[in-house]
């Protein structure tokens, strides 16, 4: 946590609380400075708690939005099947473009990480073979002898 009171301000408060404790300038006295300092610290602590609560609430909102999106995706899929024989409804459903669910991506990444941690062998799909002639190796061309031309 960053200090809610700037260091220069804290120095003034500390100076008035210790060495200048006997001084009073109108409503400025060591006790009022110390009280104001504590009030700032208390409010800063309230801000930290409120920000933590806000972050938690945002996480819950994100989860609920994702759950709603998944339900909407399923509902749209069912509606498309239902509308197969109803061209107007099918056309209307085709115009709806729902975003992809971020949860599914996170799950797949999580399962890969879990597999690595558990020591399970990685299952990767081999890349498809390229069609056509394989490329020639340029380094092999440099190592090949150069034919000499005969002078006539």
Structural domain boundaries of the chain? 7-117
According to DSSP, residue 132 is labeled: S
The secondary element (H helix, E strand) that includes residue 114 is: helix 102-118
N-to-C CA span, the chain: 89
Per-residue pLDDT tens for 62-116?
999 999 999 999 999 999 999 999 999 999 999 999 998 776 555 555 555 555 5
Query: Cα(112)–Cα(105) distance, rounded to whole angstroms?
Result: 11
Per-residue pLDDT tens for 17-71?
888 888 888 888 888 899 999 999 999 999 999 999 999 999 999 999 999 999 9
């Amino acid at each position: 946590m960053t200090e809610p009171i700037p260091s220069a301000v804290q120095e003034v408060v500390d100076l008035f609380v210790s060495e200048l404790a006997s001084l009073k300038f109108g409503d400025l006295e060591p006790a009022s400075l110390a009280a104001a300092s504590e009030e700032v610290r208390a409010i800063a602590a309230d801000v930290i708690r409120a920000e933590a609560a806000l972050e938690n609430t945002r996480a819950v909102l994100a989860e609920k939005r994702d759950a709603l999106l998944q339900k909407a995706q399923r509902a749209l899929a069912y509606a498309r099947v239902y509308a197969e024989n109803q061209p107007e409804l099918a056309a209307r459903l085709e115009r709806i473009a729902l975003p992809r669910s971020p949860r599914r991506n996170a799950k797949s990444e999580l399962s890969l990480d879990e597999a690595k941690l558990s020591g399970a062998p990685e299952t990767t799909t081999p890349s498809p073979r390229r069609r056509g002639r394989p490329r020639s190796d340029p380094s092999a061309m440099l190592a090949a002898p150069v034919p000499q031309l005969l002078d006539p």
